[in-house]
Amino acid sequence: MVRVYKKLLYYVPKEKWLAYLAIVLAAVSAVITVAAYYYMYEFLERLIVLHETERAFSFAVLITGLLAAGSVVYMVSVLLTHILGFRLETNLRKKGIDGLMSAGFKFFDLNSSGRTRQLIDDNAAQTHSIVAHLIPDNAGAVLTPVLVLAVGFTVDVKVGIALVLFTVFGAGQITLMSGDKSFMAIYQAALEKMNSETVEYIRGMQVVKIFGANVSSFKALHKAITDYSKYALDYSLSCKKPYVRFQLVFLGAVAVLIPFAVSFMDVYANPLALAVDLIMVLFLSGVLFSSFMKIMYVSMYAYMGTSAVEKLEHVFADMQKDTLQFGTQERFENYDIEFDRVRFGYGDEMILNDLSFKLSAGRSYALVGASGSGKSTIVKLISGFYKINGGDIKIGGKPLASYSRDAVAKHIAFVFQESRLFKTSIFENVRIADPQAAPERVFEALRLAGCDDVLQKFPLREQTVIGSKGVFLSGGEKQRIAIARAILKNAGIIIMDEASAAVDPENEHELQKAFKNLIKGKTVIMIAHRLSSIRAVDEVLVMEKGQIIERGSDAALLEKGGKYAYFQNLYAKANNWRVRV
């Protein structure tokens, strides 16, 4: 537990003194409150045994004051830990966001956005409870039973012995309920697996409804639910017997104490004093019960907190592992691109292994190959946001890592099939490429991208907010706005994932005109999906298993009769395929 708190307090170095002060205040609160319990005995003895009403009243006033003081001190302790808890949550989320900003794109390829959000946000929230509630509860729950036993022996040795028996029994049952840590790890893993598979199931709900499938059709989700239900049942059954015994003894304390009193106490010597002793045992056993319940929840939250910290540190380590290193060079001398014995893999298996090639500035290139051949990997590495395993990538004769982050972002533009637009105006969606651009430049970029007919659909034209009041754009319209964004950026290198591969003919015509305006005088690298669209490029690079197996113009490669010619032949056959009616 101490190790967990050390890890957590590491993330709040300026506020960690609040934790120590809160522990002291919680301990002071426990002492004050238990002192009130002792004076409760004095009150009962004066009232019931000695019949000193006035003296009893003074003790009642003292008890009220002590309980009020203890509550106030405890509230201050809890206030401090809540301040600490919220600061911890904030710092953990900030660290997560900073890590995401510096992490390479490889991290995002290996971790879905939903899982990343859940890991950072949910686990940061879980650390709040272990700090905000458990720090004061820990101090009070550990110290209170010791003080209660001291009060019990002060009242009467037999009362103290009875309370010791309750304490030993309660501690034993809680230990049994805590369970095996390895089992708890399996239980938590099953819960996370079920949550993850449920998210995937919901994301695919459209497909589920179209095919009329039910949850049992999704084997991964069905298995995750079945496994979790099994572990949840096993966990509940393992806690059932000790929890029932714990509740039975403490809540049925009267039934336990009467035989004890008859056996070990002189019932007839002083029945009023015996009544006071029994009342104190019942009262203090209730205090012990409350403390044990807190300890029980302390154990649960402690495990959850430990698990949350470990997961956060693991994801932070993953982010750091792929942290990108940028240099200070601000200008690209030219836009020649060179791969020199580059090695790269998303996991242990290398996708590119000792890959070398050169691309000249101002020319257009198309990457062709089967799925998994390495086309997308090459353009990802050119972006500068992936950490390579070996070799070197150079632009303008200098290593890509020698350029600053801003330089890389400024000189390389992307146009993908799935264009991401933000819920803001069309104007701002374009100007995100250059926040300092004058409005005239944004309007010109929209015009060159063929967006005039898109703007004419809306009364507010470029000030129309996408996604509000029923404003939605087609895939082709989104791509034209994305092209306008790239035109405004005016980068020297354009990377395209053939954006016209799946659009209607009208949008394709507009997109082709927009592409021509975009790529003038640029170094263009295109991932080709439709081979008919790349006949005009300067060179075609044919990929297979992470290597370039053919390179040349469309005509030269067709004449060669190799892999590219084979692909073109397949493409022609596919275009001639028809469904007979």
Q: Which helix (H) or strand (E) holds 338?
A: strand 337-344
pTM for the model: 0.66
> Which residue, 194, 12, 173, is CA-closest to 87?
12
Query: Is 296 a residue whose pLDDT tops 80?
Result: no
> Which residue, 319, 107, 113, is CA-closest to 200?
113
Tokens of 74: 């405890």
Partners of 286 in beta bridges: none
Contact 527, 370 (CB under 8 A): no
Q: In this predicted structure, what is the pLDDT of residue 502?
A: 46
Read off the amino acid at residue 479. Q
More confident residue, 71 or 172: 71
| Measured distance CA(46)–CA(273) in Å, rounded | 10
Tokens of 353: 């292994």
SS3 of residue 325 by DSSP: coil
Q: In this predicted structure, what is the pLDDT of residue 29?
A: 92
Query: Is 430 a residue whose pLDDT tops 60?
Result: yes
Q: In this predicted structure, what is the pLDDT of residue 458?
A: 79
Query: Is 492 a residue whose pLDDT tops 50?
Result: yes
Q: In this predicted structure, what is the pLDDT of residue 72?
A: 94
CA distances in angstroms from 507 to 44, 395, 438, 476, 479, listed in the order given = 89, 34, 28, 5, 9
Query: Is 471 a residue whose pLDDT tops 80?
Result: no
| Measured distance CA(540)–CA(554) in Å, rounded | 6
User: Which tens digit of pLDDT belongs to each residue from 72-111?
Assistant: 999 999 999 999 989 988 888 888 888 787 776 777 777 7
Q: Which helix (H) or strand (E) holds 234?
A: helix 219-251
Q: In this predicted structure, what is the pLDDT of residue 69?
A: 94
Least confident residue range of 109-123, 165-179, 405-419, 498-512: 498-512
More confident residue, 490 or 273: 490
Query: Is 211 a residue whose pLDDT tops 60?
Result: no
Backbone angles phi, psi at 51, to 5 degrees: 55, 35
Query: Is 322 a residue whose pLDDT tops 80?
Result: no
What is the DSSP code (8-state) at residue 396?
T
Mean pLDDT computed over 38-62 = 86
CA distances in angstroms from 140 to 78, 149, 173, 463, listed in the order given = 11, 14, 20, 59
More confident residue, 395 or 245: 395
What is the set of domains in the chain, with CATH numbers?
Answer: 1-321 (1.20.1560.10), 337-576 (3.40.50.300)
Mean pLDDT computed over 399-406 = 84
Query: Is 396 a residue whose pLDDT tops 70?
Result: yes
- String of b and e for 31-55 (b: at least 16 CB within 10 Å)? bbbbbbbbbbbbbbbbbeeeeeeee
Q: Quick count: other Cβ atoms within 10 Å of Cβ 70?
A: 20
Which range has the top average pLDDT, 169-173, 227-231, 283-287, 320-324? 227-231
Which range has the top average pLDDT, 118-122, 331-335, 513-517? 331-335
Contact 149, 163 (CB under 8 A): yes
More confident residue, 418 or 423: 423
Q: In this predicted structure, what is the pLDDT of residue 62?
A: 92
Query: Is 260 a residue whose pLDDT tops 90?
Result: no
Query: Is 218 a residue whose pLDDT tops 50?
Result: yes
Which range has the top average pLDDT, 83-92, 116-125, 174-183, 523-532? 83-92
Q: In this predicted structure, what is the pLDDT of residue 402?
A: 86
Averaged pLDDT of the chain: 79
User: Which tens digit of pLDDT belongs to each residue from 458-469?
Assistant: 787 878 887 655
In sequence order, what are the residues at sequence separation of 6 or more whose Cβ sits closer than 8 angstroms to the Cβ of residue 235?
A: 179, 183, 184, 187
Helix axes 253-264, 157-178, angle to 10 degrees: 140
Q: Which helix (H) or strand (E) holds 215?
A: none
Which range has the top average pLDDT, 306-310, 339-343, 557-561? 339-343
| Measured distance CA(15)–CA(145) in Å, rounded | 30
DSSP codes joined into one string, 454-471: HHTTSTTGGGPBTTSTT-
SS3 of residue 259 by DSSP: helix
| Measured distance CA(355)–CA(367) in Å, rounded | 14
Contact 167, 151 (CB under 8 A): no
More confident residue, 6 or 56: 56
Query: Is 515 a residue whose pLDDT tops 60?
Result: yes
Mean pLDDT computed over 295-301 = 71
More confident residue, 200 or 520: 520
Query: Is 138 a residue whose pLDDT tops 60?
Result: yes
Read off the amino acid at residue 304. M
Q: In this predicted structure, what is the pLDDT of residue 21?
A: 92
Sheet of 337-344, strand order:
352-359, 337-344, 390-395, 398-399
Helix axes 53-102, 123-132, angle to 10 degrees: 150
Sheet of 523-527, strand order:
412-415, 493-497, 523-527, 364-369, 539-544, 547-552
User: Which tens digit of pLDDT belongs to each residue from 158-195?
Assistant: 777 877 887 888 778 777 776 666 676 777 778 777 87
Q: In this predicted structure, what is the pLDDT of residue 508?
A: 63
Mean pLDDT computed over 329-354 = 84
% of the chain at pLDDT higher than 90? 6
Contact 77, 33 (CB under 8 A): no
Tokens of 408: 């890389």
Q: In this predicted structure, what is the pLDDT of residue 3?
A: 72
% of the chain at pLDDT higher than 70? 83
Sign of CA dihedral 44, 50, 52, 58: negative
Read off the amino acid at residue 161. I
CA distances in angstroms from 377 to 64, 212, 402, 485, 569, listed in the order given = 72, 36, 21, 23, 26
Q: In this predicted structure, what is the pLDDT of residue 207?
A: 60
Mean pLDDT computed over 403-412 = 83
Q: In this predicted structure, what is the pLDDT of residue 318?
A: 79
Query: Is 501 a residue whose pLDDT tops 50?
Result: no
pLDDT bin (cut points 50, 70, 90) of residue 278 is confident
Mean pLDDT computed over 183-209 = 71
Tokens of 307: 């698990």
In sequence order, what are the residues at sequence separation of 6 or more whose Cβ sits closer than 8 angstroms to the Cβ of residue 443?
A: 462
| Measured distance CA(387)–CA(390) in Å, rounded | 9
Tokens of 427: 């104007």
Residue with tokens 């469904």: 579
Read off the amino acid at residue 467. G
Residue with tokens 């490029």: 537
